[in-house]
Structure 1
Amino acid sequence: MDADKNVDGSEEEYEEYEDAARDARRARWTATGTGALLALAGLAASTLRLTGSAPVLVPGAYAFGAAVCALASVLGARGRTRRALWLLIAGAMVMALGDQFD
């Protein structure tokens, strides 16, 4: 039996499965990387706003948004990419809303 074929012998189905696995892996890496990047950016912004003259709500919003993005990164690494996407959107919105109070 050829290693590139399924049990029923169709190589095309095997390639489709391989493509789907590659797409899922890429989605996990994207969600994890984006979540980590947004979390680091939120923590940096929170630290900068905390040392300035901004109200306490502003760095708190950045820190909370960063925590939500960090959670999205963890979920993305575990394969929950749809939930991670929505959490990334929510985290970025919280950070943007917090910036409006400055």
Structure 2
Amino acid sequence: MNAHPDSDSDIQEEYDEQVLDARRARWTASGTGGLLALAGLAAAVLRLSGTAPTLVPAAYAFGAAVCVLAAVLGSRGRTRRALWLLIVGVMVMAWGDQFD
């Protein structure tokens, strides 16, 4: 016998909250990855049309590709890996910008 008649509903509420948190994390990872990928691609196109060395737009494009990979992983529930890939992607873009 259950000591508390509401214990099953409490467990269900906690499970529902965990499901919502996981869904929110997936949306956040995939949305952030997509946004950073678009920003990186835009920066790569802008730098490619300017007088910047070839390494600069290449770094932006590579960082954007890493962010796309992070968005895909995030949408599949691999949010920790997606977070680290987002960090690496932005670091590559920032590193490439130092050569301008």
| 1:13 alignment partner AA | I
**Match in the other structure for 1:86:** 84
Match of 2:59 among 58, 61, 68: 61
Q: What number of residue pairs does the alignment pair up?
A: 95
Match of 1:49 among 39, 43, 47: 47
CA distance in 1, matches of 2:99, 2:71: 26
| 1:91 alignment partner AA | G
Aligned partner of residue 10 in structure 1, secondary structure: helix
Aligned partner of residue 49 in structure 1, secondary structure: helix
TM-score (norm 2): 0.93
CA distance in 2, matches of 1:76, 1:10: 31
Aligned partner of residue 33 in structure 2, secondary structure: helix
CA distance in 2, matches of 1:93, 1:16: 37
**Match in the other structure for 2:21:** 23
Aligned partner of residue 26 in structure 1, secondary structure: helix
**Match in the other structure for 1:33:** 31
**Match in the other structure for 2:3:** none
Give the fraction of aligned pairs with identical amino acids, expressed as a percent.
73
Shift of the alpha carbon at 1:10? 1.3
Moved over 4 A (4+): none
For residues 41-99 of structure 1, give each alpha carbon's deviation from its aligned partner in whole angstroms, at most 9, with x where no partner exists: 00000000000000000000000000000000000000000000000000000000000
| 1:84 alignment partner AA | A
